[in-house]
Amino acid sequence: MAGLYNTNFTTLPLAMDVASLRNEVYAHNIANAETPGYKRREVSFEDSFKKALAGDELRLKTSRVRHIPNYPVSLDGVEPDLTRIKNTVITNDGNNVDIDKEMAALSANTLRYQTLTRLMDLNIVRYNIVLKGTR
């Protein structure tokens, strides 16, 4: 996003989106904690997000001053991924949901989301301060 708005308006909603996606997956895992044969699902995102931000893989090398760099990196292609964890077993019926782990992850994810909304809120507040002059 260019111009008036800073990059927080791109990164924070994306992170919030992923957090709510995760919340849904955790809810589904918890609902199926005792379903025979159910394999837990997991959202992976942070790695590809970090790579995009750091530009480890997506950034092109510029060896001359007049080379046009391809950063700030676009986050368009950075998408969360959903995987089924099939190679573990917790109970005899083939289910691999560890309810305690799932509950802990759920709470951590909730706190993360609340942190992100707070950051977004404060980001907007900063704009308000500028627009109003003083508060």
Partner 1 sequence: MLDVFRTLNISASGLTAQRARLDVIASNIANAETTRSDEGGPYRRKTVVFREVYESAIHDAGYRNVRAQTDAMRGVEIAAIEADKRPFRWIYDPSHPDANEEGYVQMPNVNVLREMVDLINAQRSYEANVTALNATKSFVNAALQIGKGG
Residue 6 to residue 74: CA distance in whole angstroms: 13
Looking at residue 56, the DSSP 8-state letter turns out to be T
Among 1, 7, 34, 60, binds partner 1 (CB under 8 A): 34
CB of 102 to partner 1, least distance (A): 8
CB of 122 to partner 1, least distance (A): 8
Number of residues located near partner 1, criterion CB under 8 A = 40
- Four-CA torsion 31, 103, 45, 117, nearest 10 degrees: 110
Q: What are phi and psi of 43, to 5 degrees?
A: -100, 125
Write the interaction track for partner 1 spanning residues 73-112; mark x where CB under 8 A is met and - where it is not: ------xxxx----------------x--xx--xx-xx--
Does 59 engage in binding with partner 1 (CB under 8 A)?
Answer: no
Does 31 engage in binding with partner 1 (CB under 8 A)?
Answer: yes
Residue 34 to residue 37: CA distance in whole angstroms: 9
Q: How far apart are the first and last CA of the chain?
A: 27
CB of 59 to partner 1, least distance (A): 25
The reply to whether omega before 69 is within 30° of 0 (cis) is no
Looking at residue 64, the DSSP 8-state letter turns out to be S
Q: Which chain residues interact with partner 1 by CB under 8 A?
A: 16, 19-21, 23-28, 30-36, 38, 41, 43, 79-82, 99, 102-103, 106-107, 109-110, 113-114, 117-118, 120-121, 124-125, 128
